[in-house]
Amino acid sequence: MAQRFKFATVAALAAALAASACTTNPQTGQQEMSKTAMYGLGAAATCGIVGALTHGGKGARNAALGCGVVGAGVGAYMDHQEKLLREKLAGSQVQVSRDGDQIKLVMPDNITFALNSAELRPDVRKTLDDVGRVLAQYTDTSITVAGHTDSTGTLQLNQALSERRAASVGNYLQGQGVAAARIRTVGFGPNQPVASNTTAEGRAKNRRVEINITPKT
């Protein structure tokens, strides 16, 4: 009976955390639970079971809350940032996606740079202004700016171009108040294609800059 009570305590706490982790998807309007919050919920359940076995019902409650609040807190933090980025970037051609605790922004080449250039187009600066303001507000994240090219031209030229483009975006974000210590820039050249380089459409998809946003660890 005591053992059943211990696990009932864990189940009740898990249900409460699950309810608090639900948010509204800004694109569909439906209630969803973020993947990061789900990870926090799993951590809460695991810690709660351990607490139940070692310290009884009170131990289950304290352990689950200790782990779950941290996990759900990170999830909520990233949820709010994702929502704001989606609102700011609506209609900008910048793709916003979420995978667990990572938010990814994909900036296509045609709106970001001229051909074979690492100089930002004037029109994209407004978009990066919006991105920079959000990133400057949410300081507990790390940012990786990754440049990518298609396979046209030599590997050396594409590698150098991808690095310069990533640096251009990173430097611009710093100018919008994002701390340099939070930003890492890297170029991958043509080595991480997302489409075939045998067609013009595929090459256009491969020419991109990705901004990856993750919670600080």
Predicted local distance difference test score (pLDDT) of residue 42 = 53
Residue 211 has pLDDT above 70, yes or no: yes
Q: What is the mean pLDDT of residues 16-36?
A: 50
| 192 neighbors 158 (Cβ within 8 angstroms) | no
Q: Provide mean pLDDT across the span 95-120.
A: 96
Average pLDDT value for residue range 130-149: 98
Greatest CA span in the chain, whole angstroms?
Answer: 71
Percent of all residues in the chain with a pLDDT value above 70, rounded to a whole number = 67
The torsion angles phi and psi of 145, rounded to 5 degrees, stand at: -105, 120
Please say if the pLDDT value at position 28 is more than 80.
Answer: no
Which is more confidently placed, 54 or 203?
203
- At residue 90, φ and ψ (nearest 5 deg) are -60, 125
Write down the domain spans for the chain.
2-85, 91-215
**pLDDT, position 74:** 86
Count of other CB atoms within 10 angstroms of residue 39: 16
DSSP state string for 171-188: HHHHHTT--GGGEEEEE-
Residue 80, pLDDT score: 95
Q: Please give the pLDDT value at position 163.
A: 99
Question: Over the chain, what is the mean pLDDT?
Answer: 81
Average confidence (pLDDT) over 84-103: 96
Torsions phi, psi of 207, nearest 5?
Answer: -80, 105
DSSP code of 121? P
Is the domain covering 91-215 a CATH 3.20.20.80 domain?
no
- In the chain, the N- to C-terminal Cα span, in Å, equals 40
pTM value is 0.71
Q: What is the pLDDT of residue 142?
A: 98
Looking at the chain, how many residues does it have? 217
- Higher local confidence (pLDDT), 166 or 32: 166
Asked if pLDDT for residue 48 goes beyond 80, the answer is no
